[in-house]
Amino acid sequence: MTNIDPQEAYSLITKNLQEVLNPQIIKNVLEVEKRPLKLYWGTAPTGKPHCGYFVPMTKLAHFLKAGCEVTVLVADLHAFLDNMKASLDVVQYRAKYYELTIKAILKSINVPVDKLKFVVGSSYQTSSNYTMDIFRMANVCSQNDAKRAGADVVKQVANPLLSGLIYPLMQALDEEYLGVDVQFGGVDQRKIFVLAEENLEKLGYKKRAHLMNPMVPGLGQGGKMSASDPNSKIDLLEEPKQVKKKINSAFCSPGNVEENGLLSFVEYVVAPIQELKHGNGFFEFHIDRPEKFGGPITFKSFDELKQAFKDEKLSPPDLKTGVSDAINVLLAPIREAFQNSPEYQEAQAKGYPVLTPEKTKKAKKPKNKGTRYPGAQNNDKAVNDAVEKLDATKIEDK
């Protein structure tokens, strides 16, 4: 166990979270067992990671600082089970892409990646024991329970595949097979966490605690930033001009601080990263505002920024400028890591191949020339002469 005080460790572990289930389990490990808390965070490599991933990354930094043993699960089989978003072959490259992206994010915010343990799901999820436990879990968990558990995570369609019901059962079992005390994820994972708490003990396994971070809102009106919705997110390798374009088209109503994904991004991403780099309480948000609108301005607290926007002393275009610049600063080292790594580039090319539609020549439609085009009259005369000649021949024959 590190020398950190148990109460201080608990504060770090639960900092900036939206919800904690079974906190007593965590306190017991820290205060009674006096050992490092074992924790895992899982991510299914489906669509490309976006800026919302900065939120769990800052929490991984808090966990490490609190002396936790942290495992990152790259859940490749979960990605395959999520309504066939990708084939198994493609998923393997996406898993590598996710691992390299996560490491690039963490390095960019000064988090030591050597203390993290990376595990690919298929490395243990195809074992005979794990398979048997899926059968055992299926024997104690109803269809409705499994469907409800995955409702906010697995892609919902009119005629869902059976794979969507297996997904939450596996996520619950991962807690046992990774040997952790806690599972960490977004608040959208809550129903799966509850499924695990209600059913793992039926298999003879212990109940775990669960930590949930808030979800970063998308760029539109309502909804979370999602890897499957390109209009709601900013990819981590997005070019600066594209970032500005997306931010400029984001929903941002004057004075509206309740439905404002840009302010939420500053609160949940920019502010925590600044604290990681500069210490608790540090906040500095600069907006390069034109002189005719008051000139450049710097806010020293998020509350000050939020109040200025609420009072309409800060306009949506100016807030968008500040957020665009802040995002591009965060993404610059990640873009650089990608450009300097052939392995990273290959993982993207084969994990997210660009599909080019086949070019097919359009069949030419015959033109309807009608009877008024040049030469039409001559043709008509020739036809009439031929008819008259035929009639004359018939008369002679008679």
What average pLDDT does range 46-63 have in this prediction? Answer: 92
- CATH code of the domain covering residue 316: 1.10.240.10
Residue 377 within any structural domain of the chain: no
Task: Answer yes or no: do 14 and 162 share one domain.
Answer: yes
- CATH code of the domain covering residue 139: 3.40.50.620
In angstroms, what is the C-alpha Rg of the chain?
30
Task: Answer yes or no: do 162 and 253 share one domain.
Answer: no
Q: Into how many domains does the chain fold?
A: 2
Task: Answer yes or no: do 167 and 279 share one domain.
Answer: no
Distance CA 207, CA 264 (A): 33
Q: Which of 171, 154, 172 is nearest to 163 (CA)?
A: 154
Residue 234 within any structural domain of the chain: no
The pLDDT value given to residue 181: 98
Task: Answer yes or no: do 29 and 165 share one domain.
Answer: yes
The pLDDT value given to residue 387: 54
Task: Answer yes or no: do 315 and 266 share one domain.
Answer: yes
pLDDT digits (tens, 9 = 90+) for 326-368: 999 999 999 999 999 999 999 999 999 987 665 656 666 666 6
What confidence tier does 154 reach under pLDDT thresholds 50, 70, 90? confident
What average pLDDT does range 233-258 have in this prediction? Answer: 92
What average pLDDT does range 274-296 have in this prediction? Answer: 91
Residue 32 within any structural domain of the chain: yes
Residue 231 within any structural domain of the chain: no
Distance CA 22, CA 180 (A): 14
Residue 383 within any structural domain of the chain: no
Rounded to two decimals, the pTM is 0.83
The pLDDT value given to residue 286: 95
Task: Answer yes or no: do 165 and 254 share one domain.
Answer: no
pLDDT digits (tens, 9 = 90+) for 98-148: 999 999 999 999 888 888 999 999 999 999 999 999 999 999 999 999 999
The pLDDT value given to residue 377: 54
pLDDT digits (tens, 9 = 90+) for 287-307: 999 898 889 999 999 999 999
Task: Answer yes or no: do 244 and 341 share one domain.
Answer: yes
Residue 370 within any structural domain of the chain: no
Segments forming the whole domain that contains residue 281 = 240-351
Q: Structure tokens of 88?
A: 């198994």
Task: Answer yes or no: do 175 and 258 share one domain.
Answer: no
What average pLDDT does range 362-386 have in this prediction? Answer: 58
Task: Answer yes or no: do 313 and 273 share one domain.
Answer: yes
- Are 50 and 227 in contact by the 8 Å Cβ rule? The answer is yes
Above 50 in pLDDT, residue 1?
A: no
Domain boundary pick from 335, 351, 367: 351
Task: Answer yes or no: do 39 and 148 share one domain.
Answer: yes
Selected residue with higher pLDDT from 383 and 68: 68
The pLDDT value given to residue 368: 60
> Residue 164: in which H helix or E strand, if any?
helix 163-177
